[in-house]
Structure 1
């Protein structure tokens, strides 16, 4: 991108400083003033030297020989479209990218800025590592900088909580909204054209239809038809998730979505193994350990549970911690009518298991229970986390509408917590029914190790908050103990009963749509104790990575 994004919804100006942390300049020059900028051998390089190693570099590859000749022609077009989503996410998360990077010559520091899509450390509670930028704005660039929640809530804007628009303020203080497809018209038209080109080449009828509809959706912000077409695809080998999808970046209202993309290649053998589980959702829903009024909904089952190798991440899903499973679409109406597709990103999941979860387990899981840490259990726990998004309750029982709308910025972390614990509930139930193989001790111990992996994402991130709630709840109930050796040992009996208690607690909070009660739960449970932090610091001292960063693209795959 040559031109820096210019609009009145920019993040706070970083013209105050280009020096870092403890640098001691009396006057801080504008970032754009390259001649005046002095990057000292200072806390920036020191901080980056400490933090960059938390990411393990992994090549995203797969066996492209499994693809048809035409699919191999489609693949580079999908990656090009994904790259545009990456540019758009930068504009949403940190529009001043070019000005910031122009001041930084150190390659490792540039890498760290790129990993975080800006000057805030996403896996360290969004700590600013460039002096002068201040705290990360809760509303990113979706809202005028400095605007209060109350000002937006009291406004007469019809699209004040829109998923596909930004709010702007003119010089007179008047608020207005601008749709994404207007704000980013040039980029979206280019991405749309690439998807249309891919559709012309694609052989699979379902993929062809989806690509055409998604191309139209990108330039109109009308995504419903393409979401249905995506769910209808059954025989495609290639897939692309693309567009403004998740609302994690909007911490002000949890309303506005960020651009992202995954380019995927289906693992047909694994997908076939997983196909039966979605059909079991209605029965599992009936048996949820919560009052009947909170489980009266019938989850949709007309969708698929598939395994993929992911060959390209872009935008929101590539920022900081990397997603290893996806449950979409997010539209509650579509979820109720048709269900969702749960996509397991098998190669990325395997990398996290080998590079991160196993080393964590050797350090923090009780020596006698380390034998229970298994990849199949990790895969199942992650998979059923995504399936479990379809369980529980979508609409409040208190007349407050859908849970997402009622809980606003408190929705995402609690929903992730629900999926974590109901995923474990599903594993437990399916093992008892003989529909899943293995020892329950493997699933519970691997789940415990998974909590210790995910809490390292920090308390500012939705999954981190969810795992901290689970950790603290389980600790209070005695579901595990911290031994005198500083390791964690699962109490398998109490683990099961606590799982049911936490399931009921979360579903009840969602069903009531009580935002104040959810805020209270977050303050009380979604925090890291000093004891746990010391244990997590041990992992850092052992150089155990927190997450992955990918080498990816057409060159890595060997396609043109």
Structure 2
């Protein structure tokens, strides 16, 4: 890393935050929001070569973790050396001094509001200044924006900002590739190592799509753009180490074949579903044994849909990875207790793990449906909707995932009662809305709760529990699907902003319910106990 840049940027972010301290309220230090859970798997299914590869992958993941600290906050050591006990633990969970599950409120005195652009941009930069600068590669996923000595904006590619770290990670991946037991896995590791060096991920994304038979999987690099809440342009470094569950994956194979039919049947005008999802998509289940960087910050993902590159999605599709052990942890420790407090006793039996698994899986599948490029020449949906793109995309995936479940149950291609899926989906809203307004998933769930309430998809009883009206929920599901797909296809930034303004806030009644969950000590998310020494059962 270029230390002089790091030092200057860290000083700027710390100073800038401190000057804003009167503009924000302090959050509590609450590590108990997170239930500890050990990430492990049945290591006997891994070969000797897999076992030899793992130490290299863990080291690469740790490097991604350090890079994300810089992207999210600045200089990690300057913060953690200052903290002790619960404050230090909470800062590690949040990758900085802001509570990600409380709208990024600071929990350390002297620290102000989190910059919307995190550490990707100068904290003194305005949106208007950025747009006026018209920087080469300014909207690239893989550049930082900085000021020169004269105060002018310029960009630095990631691989130039982190030269030593990137080179070390790439060499470790090349060493790991020596132990790959399939040609496709070896090819991916080598191409991904080179991609880290160049910030050109297209070929490595294609190589990752070609992997089918390897037990180990490794997702690494700058991937998701949620951390950039200024524009949603900049990708954050992260990593996952995964072990494929062969038995569960076999059960999921058949669903990929329905994607073209499901796309064609979406409840929206034809021009908003004209793109065809790639035919090489697949669904698999995994035990995850390590999260690093963005994926480990605050609320933890329990399923993955990648690559994000629209070119790869249209050419090859995406891979959907269900993280079964992490999913089970959230169901047992969070979703089930929530349902016992907030769902009508007569409908609680309809909250099941199988429905939770399917809803989560089809959420990821639904990311591949709809449209990636606007129908009116505004470019990609992501760039047109800017900082609102992520929240709307998550909202689309949630509601279209339920739509797909309903379609497949009606076709007798998915077992179970649709009431199970819908009731579990509603309980899932209460779980995810607790992530807050700083989370794309949190905003998406706020929108959906308020939209469902307006459409009378549920009623609240005198005892505070919720009863679902399944027919009204189906109508709301179709209407919201159409609205979101239309906004995306039109690249309607103002329309999305209006949707977020109208529906993206927690009403007082719901806040009372969320407070009840907190009073009962129901955790909001998971904190992983993980590492090379703990992954074996």
Structure 1 length as normaliser, TM-score?
0.93
Cross-structure match for 2:139: 161
**Shift of residue 5, structure 1, vs aligned partner:** 6.8
**Which residue in the other structure is 1:546 paired with?**
524
Does 1:193 pair with 2:171? yes
Alpha carbons of structure 1 residues 486 and 230: separation in structure 2 relative to 1, 3 Å:
same
**C-alpha separation in 1, matches of 2:11 and 2:471:** 50
Match of 1:485 among 446, 463, 470: 463
Per-residue CA shift, 1:371-423, capped at 9, x if unaligned? 00100000000000000001111111111111111111110000000000000
Aligned-pair CA distance for 1:98: 1.1
Deviation, 1:15, is 5.7
Q: Compute the displacement of 1:301 (Å).
A: 2.1
Match of 2:72 among 93, 99, 102: 93
Counterpart mapping for 1:343-492 below 5 A: 343-492=321-470
Q: CA–CA distance in 1 between the matches of 2:275 and 2:154? A: 37
3-state SS, counterpart of residue 534 of structure 2? helix
- Asked whether the equivalents of residues 8 and 169 of structure 1 are also in contact (C-alpha less than 8 Å), the reply is no
Q: 8 Å contact 2:49–2:180 — kept in the other structure?
A: yes
RMSD of equivalent CA atoms: 2.0
For residue 204 of structure 1, what is the aligned residue in structure 2? 182
> What residue in structure 1 maps to residue 317 of structure 2?
339
- The number of aligned residues is 535
From 484, 488, 499, the equivalent of 1:521 is 499
Equivalent residues of 2:13, 2:123 under 8 A apart: no
Q: CA separation in 1, counterparts of 2:115 and 2:134?
A: 23
Q: C-alpha separation between the residues in 2 aligned to 1:16 and 1:264?
A: 39
Pair 479,4 (structure 1): closer, same or farther in 2 beyond 3 Å: farther
- Cα distance between partner residues in 2 of 1:56 and 1:175: 42
* Aligned match of 1:298: 276
Given the superposition, is the C-alpha separation of residues 558 and 61 from structure 1 closer, same or farther in structure 2, using an over 3 Å criterion? closer
Q: How does 1:228-307 map to 2 (within 5 A)?
A: 228-307=206-285
Does structure 1 retain, via aligned residues, the 8 Å contact 2:17–2:114? no
Match of 2:50 among 65, 71, 79: 71
- 2:15 and 2:195 mapped to 1: Cα distance? 37
1:421-465 CA deviation, whole Å, 9 max, x = no partner?
000000000001111000000000000000000000001210000
Contact 1:421 1:502 in 2 (8 A): yes
SS class of match (2:71): helix
Query: Partners in 1 of 2:221 and 2:329 — Cα distance?
Result: 26
SS at 1:309 equivalent? strand
Instruction: Find the aligned partners of 1:2 and 1:172 in 2 and give their Cα distance.
Output: 19
CA contact (8 A) 2:2 2:162 kept: no
Structure 2: how far apart are the matches of 1:411 and 1:515? Answer: 9
Moved more, 448-457 or 157-166: 157-166
1:62 paired to 2:44: no
For 1:3 and 1:350, locate their aligned partners in 2 and report how far apart those are by CA, in whole Å. 42
Go from structure 1 to structure 2 and tell me whether the alpha carbon gap of 1:227 and 1:11 turns closer, same or farther (over 3 Å shift): farther
Deviation at 1:8, TM superposition (A): 4.2
Alpha carbons of 1:180 and 1:17: their partners in 2 closer, same or farther (altered >3 Å)? Answer: closer
1:30 corresponds to: none
Q: CA contact under 8 A between 2:2 and 2:161: conserved in structure 1?
A: no
Q: For 1:74 and 1:99, how far apart are their aligned partners in 2?
A: 33
Question: What do the CA deviations read for 1:449-507 (whole angstroms, capped 9, x no partner)?
Answer: 00000000001210000011111000000001111110111101111111000000100
Matches within 5 A, 1:318-337: 318-337=296-315
1:125-164 aligned within 5 A? 125-164=103-142
Q: TM-score, normalised by structure 2?
A: 0.97
Does 2:25 align with 1:47?
no
3-state DSSP class of the match of 1:306?
A: strand
Match of 2:287, SS? strand
Aligned mate of 2:203, from 216, 225, 230? 225
Corresponding position of 2:14:
14
Task: Give yes or no for contact 1:11–1:145 (8 Å, CA) kept in 2.
Answer: no
Secondary structure at the residue paired with 2:214? coil
Residue aligned with 2:355, SS: helix
1:295 Cα deviation from its structure 2 partner:
1.3
Higher mean displacement: 119-128 or 174-183: 174-183
Per-residue CA deviation, residues 135-167 of structure 1 (Å, 9 max, x unaligned), is 100111111121001111011311111110111
Q: Quick one: distance in 1 between partners of 2:12 and 2:161?
A: 20
Cα distance, 1:256 vs structure 2: 0.6
Q: Distance in 2 between matches of 1:364 and 1:148?
A: 42
Match of 1:496 in 2: 474
Three-state SS of the structure 1 residue aligned to 2:456 is coil
Contact 1:13 1:133 in 2 (8 A): no
Is the alpha carbon distance of 1:11 and 1:518 closer, same or farther for their aligned partners in structure 2, counting shifts above 3 Å?
A: farther
Deviation string, structure 1 residues 92-124 (Cα, Å, up to 9, x no partner): 11113211211223x221100100000000000
Distance 1:459 1:378 in 2: 23
CA distance in 1, matches of 2:501, 2:457: 21
Moved over 3 A (4+): 1-5, 7-18
